[in-house]
Structure 1
Amino acid sequence: MKRKLAEFDLKLGKKAGYGVKILGTELHVRFCFSHYLLTESRSLLISEAELSFFKEVDLEGIQRIVARSVSIYEIHMTDIALKNLIIHIAIAICRIRDDCYVAADELLNIEFNMQELRASQTMIREIEAQECVVFPETELSYLLLHLSAKHIATDYDDYREFILVNKMLERIQKRYGYALSDDQVLISNLILHLKPAINRIKFQMNIQNPYLPNLKQNHPLAFEFGLTAKDVLEEELGMKVNEAEAGYLAIHLLYAMDKVQESVKKRVLIVCASGLGTSQLLQSKVRKAFAEELEIIGVYSFHEYESRPVACDFVIATVPLRHQSHPYVQVSPFLMKSDMRAIEAMLGSGSPFQIESVFSESLFVVSEKDWDKERILRELARLLMNQGYVDEGYLPSIFERELVVPTFLGNGLATPHPIQADVARTAIAVCVCEAPALWNEEDCAQVVFMLAVKNKEQSQLTTTYELISDIVENPKVMRQLKAIRDFDGFMHILTGLSLK
């Protein structure tokens, strides 16, 4: 109980002859109250349990008041946020009836706009009449805090959030090599997200993020970007930012990353000298075979190509080109297998990811039964350092990253990695645990992948995390990996996964 209360800056006080009492500010008591109440209920509708719990409060009447007010004053909220607001109001009513009020100095410097203030005032007037309770001025501020922290902004008018977002994206580019600073949609979305988020952060409001497990398991790289953005917020605001906020930032960044992946296609021109039929046939076959890698920007005849300059990455031609203003590959209109290999060679840096290039027997170890998390981290980092993959700064950065959020992904897999370190070449050190190792307060790791990804190698970074995502979301593969005790068997399982 002490540990759970400490998460909300609350303590358990004891006095002989009287018993025990929760000590702390009223604001933190309510945050604790709402956390456990809302964690129990994932429903967007008011549940029977909540109606029973708040039997002295007309929850459905409050729901009607809140829905009407946010509609009149055009307050945009998610369904989850609306339900949370109703529960917070119900908690406030119960506490006021017990003469427990939020102090004025607990709610200084709330950031809000006039529509939020007017909506809060309207709600309170109607709730006071319905519940026969009087809200003091500080309770208006309490309601305003929750409303402003849940209101989805639709415009912005100052530069604070703009500066914060730029710093986030600069840090992501410096650390991971992903250039997202030109994505105006992403910048706008992050700025609008930060406006209510800053109130949540400032007052350490607990929010639930039901998408966290999915993000960690299926999109670990995007989650790392979210944690990097979280670092910037903590530095700039001087306040702790929770994991749930990092997850919501990661969702915005994941959308932007998907667009980056779509935009890295090579732009190619097809030059065909034998008429419309063959040019259409070749175009169709190239598009079908290389849909993910190539964007066909035009189909030219031999003479059109020579007389009309055009910008592209390379040319696919059915005839030799005299004026080689671009790299080109000569193919048959029927696109034979040898032609496809020639195009793949032209793609160059887009060569297929080889599992054998990142795993090696010299970086594979089976733990002893008494190895704990720290011992595993030290052993794997030692293997990487002794073989020249990383330097002395690698292990301290590994421990630093674990302090931010433990790197347990799920299904018994943990992927420790540094916040930032110099890596000579990409590799993954592996430990299969003889006995499960406690990785955080409740999860045990049985397979550990320690990642060393060469700095700013975006393609390697993306492919490595995609491989990890494929492994962790496949329970059958994870069961096999937990049971394996030799490197050849380990590679046989991973190779089988990569061929599917």
Structure 2
Amino acid sequence: MAVHLSSALRRLAMGLSINNPYTDEIRQNFPQAFDQAVLLKPVLENQYQIQMNEDELAFISLHFEAFFERHSEDARLSVVVVCSSGIGTSQLLGQRLAKTFAQELRITRIIALGELLATPIKESLVISTIAIKGLSVPVIEVSPLLNRHDIGIIRQMITEQPTPTNHLVALLQPELTIVTQEQLTDQGAIELICQRLIDQGYAKPTVVQAALAREALASTALGRVALPHADSQLITKPAIGLLIAPQSINWQHNDKVQLVFFMALNETVHGQMRAIYHDLDQLIETPRLLKQVAQASDGTAALAILAQLNQKN
């Protein structure tokens, strides 16, 4: 990022800017990273006397996203591969597993049976070429050649794993969900949902001004969805407020927003941030659910629809 910023600052100091053809896609796909770039904007502008547009912010946000990716948790099942010797056949098996289940399994160790029995098992699953009993984690016995039958058994095991937690719904509350037919501006929508958060004890009174100030830096609208928020210090307990406006709200950049998710998050959910934004991205990429939520009659109905996120088919 330092190299990129050095070049960008020199360019902007001369009044030059470059077009980013992927700005809209970056804003939608990496909202958390884009928000970090937005928060950096006033610092850079004040210190270097420059003006940064959203194209420049989108480039910077890619560096934040790369950092988040490097430090994100791997959601794949962790696996230890075992055979009688730990050499040859297990290496072959490990390679075939990695190729066949690249998106589902993360192989942490390829070892011999003796080593497995002598060390704690931290993995979620043991895949072995020999029979093993009495372990605290599931064991799947397979051929070193990983035939179709073996693949079928492993896929069944993966399918039977618990459904991932819906982090988005876990932070939504019926009392923080508003359905309105009123014609609102973006400012009016933020004020309405912030007041609900304040009244219910989730945020401090100054959250309204802080959220409006953040929105003034750059729009949080992503098509039909907006994600306003404020400084985490103003959040007394984490939650996500939801305002549903079937008639649409005229947001910045002429976006027609129907769902406003106010991200009232603080440090107590810091470790869940990536998962929360992942669920939001899943929602944005599912027009059917977006439409259903926008047409929900009340908060309870809306949350029931959102609960369909992450459900296995």
Identify whether the pair has TM-score above 0.5, normalized to the shorter chain.
yes
* CA distance 1:215–1:489, shift in 2 (3 Å): same
Residue equivalent to 2:165: 352
Residue equivalent to 2:249: 437
Residue equivalent to 1:413: 225
Per-residue deviation, residues 375-426 of structure 1 (Å, max 9, x unmatched): 321221232233333334433321221111121111x221111144354554
Query: Amino acid of the residue matched to residue 367 of structure 1?
Result: T
Q: For 1:61-80, list aligned pairs within 5 A.
A: none
Per-residue deviation, residues 340-376 of structure 1 (Å, max 9, x unmatched): 699x68xxxx953355312222111112424333332
> What CA distance in whole angstroms lies between the structure 1 residues aligned with 2:105 and 2:39?
29
Residue equivalent to 2:111: 299
> What CA distance in whole angstroms lies between the structure 2 residues aligned with 1:420 and 1:426?
9
Residue equivalent to 2:190: 377
Residue equivalent to 2:295: 483
1:319 to 133, 142, 146: 133
- Aligned partner of residue 240 in structure 1, secondary structure: coil
Residue equivalent to 1:331: 139
Q: For 1:5-154, list aligned pairs within 5 A.
A: none
Query: Amino acid of the residue matched to residue 176 of structure 2?
Result: L
1:450 to 233, 258, 262: 262
> What CA distance in whole angstroms lies between the structure 2 residues aligned with 1:236 and 1:193?
17
Q: For 1:229-244, list aligned pairs within 5 A.
A: 229-244=40-55
> What CA distance in whole angstroms lies between the structure 2 residues aligned with 1:459 and 1:257?
11
* CA distance 1:457–1:295, shift in 2 (3 Å): farther
Q: Percent identity?
A: 23
* CA distance 1:424–1:320, shift in 2 (3 Å): farther
Is 1:214 the counterpart of 2:28? The answer is no
> What CA distance in whole angstroms lies between the structure 2 residues aligned with 1:231 and 1:209?
20
Residue equivalent to 2:145: none
> What CA distance in whole angstroms lies between the structure 2 residues aligned with 1:483 and 1:367?
11
> What CA distance in whole angstroms lies between the structure 1 residues aligned with 2:66 and 2:155?
35
Is 1:246 the counterpart of 2:60? The answer is no
Residue equivalent to 1:106: none
Per-residue deviation, residues 84-135 of structure 1 (Å, max 9, x unmatched): xxxxxxxxxxxxxxxxxxxxxxxxxxxxxxxxxxxxxxxxxxxxxxxxxxxx
- Aligned partner of residue 329 in structure 1, secondary structure: coil
User: Larger helix proportion, structure 1 or 2?
Assistant: 1
* CA distance 1:275–1:372, shift in 2 (3 Å): closer
Give the RMSD, CA atoms, in angstroms. Answer: 4.0
> What CA distance in whole angstroms lies between the structure 2 residues aligned with 1:237 and 1:299?
55
Residue equivalent to 1:255: 66
Residue 270 of structure 1 deviates from its aligned partner by 4.2
Q: TM-score, normalised by structure 1?
A: 0.49
Is 1:494 the counterpart of 2:306? The answer is yes
Structure 1, unaligned runs of 5 or more: 1-189, 322-327
Per-residue deviation, residues 63-99 of structure 1 (Å, max 9, x unmatched): xxxxxxxxxxxxxxxxxxxxxxxxxxxxxxxxxxxxx
Residue 234 of structure 1 deviates from its aligned partner by 2.6
> What CA distance in whole angstroms lies between the structure 2 residues aligned with 1:471 and 1:353?
11
Asked if the contact 1:287–1:296 (Cα under 8 Å) also holds between the matched residues in 2, the reply is no
* CA distance 1:354–1:420, shift in 2 (3 Å): closer
Q: For 1:148-163, list aligned pairs within 5 A.
A: none
> What CA distance in whole angstroms lies between the structure 2 residues aligned with 1:395 and 1:193?
34
> What CA distance in whole angstroms lies between the structure 2 residues aligned with 1:482 and 1:234?
38
Q: Which structure has the higher relative contact order (CA within 8 Å, separation 6+)?
A: 2
* CA distance 1:204–1:282, shift in 2 (3 Å): same
- Aligned partner of residue 421 in structure 1, secondary structure: helix
Asked if the contact 1:416–1:449 (Cα under 8 Å) also holds between the matched residues in 2, the reply is yes
> What CA distance in whole angstroms lies between the structure 2 residues aligned with 1:363 and 1:418?
16
* CA distance 1:336–1:439, shift in 2 (3 Å): closer
Query: Amino acid of the residue matched to residue 395 of structure 1?
Result: V
Residue equivalent to 2:200: 387
Per-residue deviation, residues 119-153 of structure 1 (Å, max 9, x unmatched): xxxxxxxxxxxxxxxxxxxxxxxxxxxxxxxxxxx
Asked if the contact 1:400–1:419 (Cα under 8 Å) also holds between the matched residues in 2, the reply is no
* Count of residues in Structure 1 that have an aligned counterpart in Structure 2: 296
User: Larger strand proportion, structure 1 or 2?
Assistant: 2
Q: TM-score, normalised by structure 2?
A: 0.74
> What CA distance in whole angstroms lies between the structure 1 residues aligned with 2:97 and 2:200?
45
- Aligned partner of residue 465 in structure 1, secondary structure: helix
